[in-house]
């Protein structure tokens, strides 16, 4: 008989575990039935980006109809459009900051829900505040969705898809803006503006449905990235001032201080944002790579400004 004492293996509970072993893993949500399918993701991008861009270009012919129905001046309607465009411009910077620290695919569902809400508010507006709030939400959420939905279309698929992605984005941005005046003129010929806004609301709802069907959870791009309130403040103040001044040109001369002062101040703030981000050690916007790329289009700005995740986009 051996004198060796039989040792009992230590249990997990009696073993000293490293501290990180007790940190729960982030729970990933179940993907949608169309997750990862390129045609479905491309359709979602089109549904999100085209309506507001086409609507912005279509507003001029139907502005008198909106003013007459809601009993607001053409200047107030122009100001609403200007503030929506300002929200669209500033929202790009805000979306990049959100993408660094928040799960972007989950945030995309929130952006899409607010886009539907804003579209319904604008279409069903009974007074000026309701219309202005709804239209500003349309601009802001479209910009947020530009960063949330478009980069995965370029970065999440093989290089062979890049040509199709570029064509889709060109159709979204330039095709929608080109078709806008034709759509607005056709709508004005029927002496009604609400049907166009309800169509936009319906397309936004379809985009929300597609975002649920193509959902595939992903972590934030970089939780260690610095927060940059200065860049957000410069983007917001510069966009609002510039588009406010541009809106005042409807009823004022170009050299009128009411129009030219905020316009020039806004442009100065935006230039200051570019200079600040160019020289920042850890910039929010990757402007150094843009400085060597000419010409620079809105698509390139959106893609280069988007944060690079640490793993493959879906």
Close Cβ partners of 73 (under 8 Å, ≥ 6 residues apart)? 67
Enter the DSSP assignment of 188: H
CA distance 146 to 108: 10
CA distance 3 to 82: 90
Compute the mean pLDDT over every residue in the chain, rounded to the nearest whole number.
Answer: 80
pLDDT, one tens digit per residue, over 81-118 is 889 999 998 998 898 888 888 888 889 999 999 999 99
Nearest CA to 90 out of 273, 296, 256, 255 is that of 273
| Higher pLDDT, residue 90 or 252 | 90
pLDDT, one tens digit per residue, over 40-87 is 999 999 999 888 989 988 988 898 899 889 988 877 888 888 899 999
CA distance 231 to 280: 10
pLDDT, one tens digit per residue, over 165-180 is 888 888 777 888 888 8
- CA dist 222 to 25, 85, 126, 226, Å? 17, 28, 43, 9
- CA dist 72 to 34, 38, 130, 133, Å? 44, 44, 12, 14
């Amino acid at each position: 008989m051996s004198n060796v004492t039989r040792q009992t293996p230590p249990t997990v509970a009696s073993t000293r575990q490293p501290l990180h072993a007790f940190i729960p893993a982030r729970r990933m949500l179940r993907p949608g039935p169309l997750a990862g399918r390129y045609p479905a993701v491309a359709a979602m991008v089109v549904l999100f980006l085209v309506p507001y861009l086409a609507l912005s270009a279509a507003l001029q012919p139907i502005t008198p109809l909106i003013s007459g129905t809601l009993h607001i001046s053409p200047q107030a309607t122009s100001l609403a459009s200007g503030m929506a465009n300002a929200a669209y411009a500033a929202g790009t910077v805000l979306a990049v900051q959100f993408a660094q620290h928040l799960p972007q695919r989950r945030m995309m569902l929130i952006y899409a829900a607010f886009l539907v809400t804003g579209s319904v508010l604008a279409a069903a507006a009974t007074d000026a505040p309701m219309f202005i709030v709804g239209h500003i939400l349309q601009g802001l959420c479209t910009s947020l969705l530009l960063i949330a939905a478009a980069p995965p279309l370029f970065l999440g698929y093989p290089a062979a898809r890049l040509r199709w992605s570029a064509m889709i984005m060109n159709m979204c941005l330039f095709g929608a803006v080109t078709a806008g005046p034709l759509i607005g003129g056709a709508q004005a010929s029927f002496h009604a503006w609400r049907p166009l806004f309800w169509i936009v609301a319906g397309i936004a709802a379809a985009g929300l449905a597609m975002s649920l069907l193509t959902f595939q959870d992903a972590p934030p791009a970089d939780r260690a990235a610095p927060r940059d309130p200065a860049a957000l403040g410069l983007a917001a103040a510069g966009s609002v001032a510039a588009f406010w001044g541009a809106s005042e040109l409807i009823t004022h001369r170009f050299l009128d201080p009411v129009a030219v002062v905020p316009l020039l101040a806004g442009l100065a703030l935006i230039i200051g944002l570019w200079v600040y981000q160019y020289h920042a050690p850890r910039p929010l916007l990757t402007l150094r790579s843009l400085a060597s790329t000419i010409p620079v289009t809105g698509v390139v700005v959106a893609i280069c400004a988007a944060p690079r995740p640490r793993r493959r986009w879906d």
